[in-house]
Structure 1
């Protein structure tokens, strides 16, 4: 009889594998963001249609998590991860050979469906093994690993664009997906024991989601995640058009400007990781709210007073990213704390709120405003106010 593979992983291995799985999501955004204006030109379409390649990706990403999480509660984290990342590789290859915008939309949809496993499964793997401050610390480590991809991807995308066409960017994404498949095959261990698995049926899935959505302890932290990432993906969709089209930056200069965002996120993660062992998660959320307030004020004023300044835009971007580094692990751990028995469903639904927020943010940025700069100075301050409002309601309802 073949011996059973041991269950569970160390905190470090969990963080590394979870971080690399989650990193696939932003890789699929930031690697090709310098090429968005080029894609628009190649297909002879509009800026709004170009931004829809982000929106289609987010829609599939958000919805697929609602399937991925319950499947992992039934079949285990590792097996479901292998299946979904194989789908991601397929979507990347479809996008790589896309002869038209419609085929690119299809590739982005399939990509988004497959990559949904990264967020849902990484959080479930953490919740399977860790709780409390230890879970916050590991989620912070996952976020820290996550920062490497946005730091490198825009620069790599710019180099690819200089050396060839944007199609090769999706070949690189496919290669990253294959690397994740190899890591899951030979480096990961299952974290959900067979005796803890729950049947997969529509009635059980809907019952679990109804339980989560009816719990304020889950709902409020998840709303905070959704709003925070709505802001992030809102300006992610807008910045290439502001910097490259409006201000005349080259794709490489754009990538260099985006390093400020990454540095801020890294500093925020280091600070959050240090404080996670010393203060409560609610204090970390308070720090994030102060950052969002300052960032919202910056977005509302600095681009108007200094319209030709890159710093006037990147300063509030950096402050927002600093805030996300604090709120993401704290809100995630708070949302999932009481739902260990359905960690896959809870991880999927927190991911749905997070990515769904990105979907709404990118869709609003691309469709509700006459131009990218107007969207930036209106949408981001509004999201900051909504985030502070939700957090205030959450504090008032608690004893």
Structure 2
């Protein structure tokens, strides 16, 4: 890895951390905020929901905008909007104001979800892109490991408002790094003119491409299984298995570590066996391990150690599936990489949101609904991979 490669990976990774940090640091503050505002828990949860809605949907606008105006102007807009909304959140007088400002915060955060993917595609394709994507994901991995603990450390002495102050400072740092350290990767000659027809044609091209849609949804189903884990693990680990908050954080970090450690081997395996083969075999491993985990829990082998070990294994396979499928989905769409990255991110967020809603309807505080939901996501991803990769193997780029 040369100096330029490392610099870009660090900058893109830190930019991509903005959105996750706004979620992960914020979670420990929810009970305190409910007490502070005198609001019911449901109202405080709406602040999280409003962020996710904006975070997912607004990627559809940043992608085309980055294809039309270059990568950096929309990135600047998103970061500045996010910082201003974060300041507003810290001084929100009522829960209603906080819900609205969290929505605005999500609008800004959407920029740093989709545009870094397009920047990677501007510079690299194939396994080189996969290697950079996985390096960026390694930087992102600090969020689920450290952000909840950092949020808890701030909330105690300084109150829940300090979380938003810290996020604002991190955003200002990201803005400076983007301004002085990140080059513009889409030159004026390669930009798409601002025409609604052109944007509509780009979306139509993507929706009509079975390879793109299949790979996007394979990654989306993988992410959906992880979203289900995020939404239920705290209740399951602390209430069912009796873990303390610190023990929960460590167990949570262990599963995240499996995902991000495995992702670092995606590019190397892609170079040796081909990216299509990596996705095919990793999805198969994900489906087999998730199904085995579900079968063991259903058979009565209710052990916390077993659950953590099986989640670690299945999440490790996900670490190979997600970055490789992301890169493959963009390979054939260089001229509209921003739009393709944005649509992919939005579809994956929507898939995850649907999975959370459906799993919450059957969650009863025991591990079985969680592992069954993960197994269903894995089996659907396997079926989709069999259709998509067999149909697209002849045209997908293998490096």
Same fold (TM over 0.5): yes
Specify every segment of 5 or more residues in structure 1 that has no aligned partner in the other structure, as ranges: 1-8
Cα distance in structure 2, aligned partners of 1:48 and 1:378: 26
Partner of 1:112: 106
Q: Is 1:291 matched with 2:282?
A: no
Partner of 2:342: 348
Residue among 357, 361, 381 paired with 1:387 = 381
Q: In 2, are the aligned partners of 1:20 and 1:145 still within 8 Å (CA)? A: yes
The number of residue pairs the alignment matches comes to 389
RMSD: 2.6
Cα distance in structure 2, aligned partners of 1:184 and 1:305: 52
Matches within 5 A, 1:242-261: 242-261=236-255
More displaced stretch, 294-303 vs 62-71: 294-303
Shift in alpha-carbon separation, 1:222–1:283, aligned structure 2, 3 A: same
Shift in alpha-carbon separation, 1:318–1:180, aligned structure 2, 3 A: same
Q: 3-state SS of the aligned residue for 1:311? A: helix
Q: Deviations over 1:352-384 (max 9, x none)?
A: 122222322333344x23545464243222212
Cα distance in structure 2, aligned partners of 1:18 and 1:327: 20
Q: Deviations over 1:82-133 (max 9, x none)?
A: 1001111123223333444433322322222111112211111111111112
Q: Is 1:60 matched with 2:25?
A: no
More displaced stretch, 90-99 vs 182-191: 90-99
Shift in alpha-carbon separation, 1:124–1:230, aligned structure 2, 3 A: same
Shift in alpha-carbon separation, 1:282–1:167, aligned structure 2, 3 A: same
Q: 3-state SS of the aligned residue for 1:191? A: coil
Q: In 2, are the aligned partners of 1:69 and 1:120 still within 8 Å (CA)? A: yes
Partner of 1:216: 210
Residue among 134, 141, 145 paired with 1:151 = 145
Partner of 2:174: 180
Cα distance in structure 2, aligned partners of 1:151 and 1:229: 17
Q: In 2, are the aligned partners of 1:137 and 1:273 still within 8 Å (CA)? A: yes
Q: For residue 81 of structure 1, report the CA deviation from its aligned partner.
A: 0.5
Partner of 1:334: 328
Cα distance in structure 1, aligned partners of 2:363 and 2:174: 40
Q: For residue 51 of structure 1, report the CA deviation from its aligned partner.
A: 4.7
Matches within 5 A, 1:179-328: 179-289=173-283, 290-299=285-294, 301-302=296-297, 305=300, 310-328=304-322
Cα distance in structure 2, aligned partners of 1:228 and 1:288: 11
Shift in alpha-carbon separation, 1:370–1:219, aligned structure 2, 3 A: closer
Shift in alpha-carbon separation, 1:67–1:49, aligned structure 2, 3 A: same
Shift in alpha-carbon separation, 1:135–1:302, aligned structure 2, 3 A: same
Partner of 1:4: none
Partner of 1:5: none
| TM-score (norm. length: structure 2) | 0.88
Cα distance in structure 2, aligned partners of 1:51 and 1:297: 33
Partner of 2:397: none
Shift in alpha-carbon separation, 1:350–1:92, aligned structure 2, 3 A: same
Q: In 1, are the aligned partners of 2:289 and 2:313 still within 8 Å (CA)? A: yes
Q: In 2, are the aligned partners of 1:155 and 1:256 still within 8 Å (CA)? A: no
Q: In 1, are the aligned partners of 2:290 and 2:371 still within 8 Å (CA)? A: no
Q: In 2, are the aligned partners of 1:35 and 1:251 still within 8 Å (CA)? A: no
Q: In 1, are the aligned partners of 2:130 and 2:266 still within 8 Å (CA)? A: no
| TM-score (norm. length: structure 1) | 0.88
Shift in alpha-carbon separation, 1:263–1:377, aligned structure 2, 3 A: closer
Partner of 1:14: 8
Q: For residue 50 of structure 1, report the CA deviation from its aligned partner.
A: 5.1
Specify every segment of 5 or more residues in structure 2 that has no aligned partner in the other structure, as ranges: 395-399
Q: For residue 208 of structure 1, report the CA deviation from its aligned partner.
A: 0.6
